[in-house]
Amino acid sequence: MKKIKYLLICLSTISLLGCNETITLSKVNNITYSDGLLSFDAVEKAEGYNVKFSHLNEVVYEDKIKDTAIDVESLGLEGNINLEISAYYQDTTSEVTNYNFTVLSKFEDVIFEAEDNLYNFGTGKEQSNFRNNPSASKGAYVGGIDDAGQGVYINYLCPSEGTFTLEAYYLAEAVPAHNDVWVNGVYQARYDFIENTGYGGDKFTPAKAEVSISLIKGWNTISIFKNGDNSDNYGSFAELDYFVLKGNGATYNVDDLLTFGEKPSYYRLEAEMGSPRKKDPNSLITSCKNPCIVQNENNKYSNGFLMGGVELQYDGVSWHFNSPVKAKYSVKIAYASGEFNGSKKAKPSFIVTQEEVQLAKNADFKKYNCVSMNELPYTGWNNVQVSEESVEITLEQGKNFINCLLLEDLNNVNSGFFQIDYVDMKFLSEIE
């Protein structure tokens, strides 16, 4: 009887020891990534796995999973990814395994809304080029493009070099109409708008036109604007809804684009694409309909246009610009000037506002972000040079109106005449 009791005690002891047995989990091994699926070997006794995905040292996804395979594509991850994974059983966790892999992106179609790439929110005729319409793509489009040189200006970070189709979705009535396409400061193609769709309104049925353009890997500027003369009504009239850059399906690593920056290092504000500020709109008449624009002189001007007639106080140009962040920018001006009837050298000023305003003699300039350049050296008329001097302006995040004006009262006759080709605006630093 004593032997039986002793045996039972021994068996109970063994049972208790078994209940307190320490579980040891091995590391996760044999991790592979292929065709959007990440898989690994199951760990014995594990009831699940802790997973953490990081991109550029930032955690982008974290979870507990039961399976030994993960559909990475469904997580929306891109670029060079680091995985930290460990097995777990109740309160026991294995050593962490690190695994690095790359999720490639596909070059798919890109949509550019015309209204999001508009520098001109007023033609100088107190009429905005921005149009709201619930039937338009994203609820808005660009209309009222009456003057040569007017249109849209797109900054685009292209993942690869090549030739691509750029579709334009437009409205037209006075057909045929046409727009020129310049890429990175070089003329490349012309849109022919031949379908009579009627202009925007209750009936909103855009037609499609397309061109081929060449892009470089990195940041590109794409200008689409009206260009013509009085023989073709200055390019006739078309309204712009949106554009589609047709992707070629090629794969690429988004992290390869980091060297180009998250935003352009500079923005070019073309004078002809802004809103002219002209005290006397009848003082200069050219062949471009817009009273301030000098047209295509052997394409020696940026985008083929130069703004002239900046001669009286408050003359100049205004651009609408959406800044991605509140930031400081330095600006330089590409201009031409010459002595005229004893005129003084021009001294342009930059004024930044968050609303479109009419700047005149009674304007309270002290309440605006206003900075003036020194007198610009003479270059000779139509001989464009970039100013050596740069000045610094501050833009709020979102909507800004950047005004480049003659402010000094030089009694008109002695005003400092000059011509504006463009303003280059360089990003300096973000403001918290």
What is the distance between the alpha carbons of residues 244 and 248, in angstroms, rounded to a whole number?
A: 12
**Distance between CA atoms of residues 300 and 308, nearest Å:** 15
Tokens of 125: 């005729």
Q: Quick one: DSSP state of residue 367? A: G
Is CATH 3.30.1370.30 what the domain over 22-103 is classified as, yes or no? no
Q: Domain 265-432: which topology? A: Jelly Rolls (2.60.120)
Query: Reduced to 3 states, what is the DSSP secondary structure of residue 300?
Result: coil
Residue stretches of the chain with pLDDT short of 50? 2-19, 124-126, 282-289, 410-414
| Amino acid at the residue 127 | Q
- Report the C-alpha gap between 334 and 317 in whole angstroms: 13
Establish whether domains 22-103 and 265-432 are of one fold.
no
| pLDDT of res. 141 | 95
Q: What is the mean pLDDT of the chain?
A: 86
Cα separation of 99 and 303, whole Å? 49
| pLDDT score, position 415 | 58
CA–CA distances in Å: residue 132 to residues 142, 197, 394: 9, 18, 29
Domain ranges of the chain: 22-103, 104-262, 265-432
Q: What is the pTM of this model?
A: 0.85
Closest CA to 418 of 315, 265, 289, 295: 315
CA distances from 110 to 106, 107, 253 (A): 11, 9, 17
Q: What would the pLDDT profile of 187-216 be if each residue is shown by its tens digit?
A: 999 999 999 999 988 889 999 999 999 999
The alpha carbon dihedral of 413, 414, 419, 422 has a sign of negative
**Beta-bridge partners for 112:** 243
Give CA separation, 50 vs 85, 93, 94, 97, 369, in Å.
5, 9, 10, 10, 52
Superfamily of domain 104-262: Galactose-binding domain-like (2.60.120.260)
- The dihedrals phi and psi of 28, each to the nearest 5 degrees, come to -75, 130
Write the DSSP string, 302-315: GGGEEEEEE-STT-
**Residue found under tokens 């309104």:** 201
**Please, are residues 81 and 102 in contact by the beta-carbon 8 Å criterion?**
yes
CA separation for the pair 193, 178 (Å, rounded): 6
User: Residue 76, exposed/middle/buried by CB under 10 A (0-12, 13-18, 19+)?
Assistant: exposed
Residue 387 is encoded by which pair of tokens? 């100013």
What's the CA gap between 19 and 200, in Å, rounded? 78
Which residues, in sequence order, are bridge partners of residue 390? none
User: 141: Cβ–Cβ under 8 A, 6 or more apart, which residues?
Assistant: 114, 115, 131, 133, 171, 200, 239, 240, 241, 242
